[in-house]
Amino acid sequence: MSVAGTNDAAPAVAPPARRGGRTLLLNILALAAGLLIWDGAVRLGAVGLPTPVEVLRQAAASIESGQLLRDALASLARVLSGFLLGVALAIPVGFLMGWYPTARALIEPYVQFFRTIPPLAIIPLAIVTMGIGEVPKVFVIFLAAFLTSVVATFQGVVSVDRTLINAARVLGARDATIFRRVVIPASTPFIMVGVRIGLGSAWATVVAAELIAAQSGLGFRMQQGQLYYDLPVIFVSLITIGLLGLVMDRIVIAADRRLTAWQEKA
């Protein structure tokens, strides 16, 4: 007697190339729909915003004058400096906290304390103590990226299945080998999540820092647009920030897929 359903064909799984093409098509359709809704809402008078065409004209003028490139490079340099420094320090500190209880007891209170203080609240203090140059801007970005990444790394280490660690010890592996071959790979997905969140925090922080004290950058340009009620300038800066953040996030995702190729994902 056959069991019902045993002869049913398994659901077909689309190849990665086809899934990628479908995702890209959906992304394009979503973007087109968003632009149409935006343009329609403005033309009907529902919102007092510039039309997509007006924003596009402002973007073309800013690109032609070189202003948009200078502002984008200034903000990007600040974000990369603070973000990379924050992540580079957060990963070893997070491993230290997760692997050694003594280090956790000594470091965790400071991490949790500063996590309750928004990095934006540090900006006035940073400007007063470090001046209005690049150092305070990079510092607050560093702090935002560090606090996010260190917690994610720490959580990744403490979430490693103890069975894997015990099995490695039974097989005669030393702590250094266990850490390198078991703990680091198992906590990498957590680390990459922290890196992605830290990247978003870095962009949010640099824009706030440039709004307070800067002579260049996308946040500074948004402030100038606000002073003169130049909405297309504000929109161009906002869209540029979103595009730069999206590109950087996709780079992090690509690195995540490469580093966690062993993990099953949907």
Per-residue confidence of the chain (266 residues) as pLDDT tens digits? 444 444 454 445 556 556 667 777 888 898 889 889 888 888 887 677 888 889 999 999 999 999 999 999 999 999 999 999 999 999 999 999 988 889 999 999 999 898 888 877 888 888 888 887 888 889 999 999 999 999 999 998 888 888 888 888 888 878 788 888 888 888 888 999 999 999 988 998 888 888 776 788 998 899 888 888 889 999 999 999 999 999 999 999 888 888 887 666 65
How much is the pTM?
0.82
Q: Determine, yes or no, domain membership for 3.
A: no
Do 94 and 34 sit in the same domain of this protein? no
| Assigned domain for 265 exists | no
Side chain identity at residue 172, one-letter code: G
Position 6 in a domain:
no
Same domain, 31 and 89: no
Q: Which two tokens stand for residue 113?
A: 């304390």
Q: Tell me: do 163 and 152 sit in the same domain.
A: yes
Give a yes or no: residue 13 inside a domain: no
d(CA 208, CA 217): 11
Question: Does residue 173 sit within a domain?
Answer: yes
> What is the Cα–Cα distance from 204 to 157, expressed in whole angstroms?
28
Residues 94 and 190 in one domain: yes
Q: Are residues 67 and 28 part of one domain?
A: no
Mark whether 42 and 169 lie in a shared domain: no
Residues 81 and 92 in one domain: yes
| Domain around 43 | 20-49
The token pair at 16 is 């990665």
What CATH number should be reported for the domain holding residue 67?
1.10.3720.10
3-state helix, strand, coil in the chain (%, to 5): 80, 0, 20
Q: What are phi and psi of 122, to 5 degrees?
A: -80, -15
My answer on whether 134 and 235 are in the same domain is yes
The answer to whether position 208 is within a domain reads yes
Amino acid at 205: T
- Residue 98 token pair: 């997760």
Give the total number of structural domains in the chain.
2
Does 249 fall in a domain?
yes
Side chain identity at residue 136, one-letter code: P
* Residue 198 falls inside a structural domain: yes
With a CB cutoff of 8 Å and minimum separation 6, the contacts of 180 are none
Domain C-terminal end among 31, 49, 67: 49
CB 203 within 8 A of CB 79: yes
With contact defined as beta carbons under 8 Å apart, do 181 and 164 qualify?
no
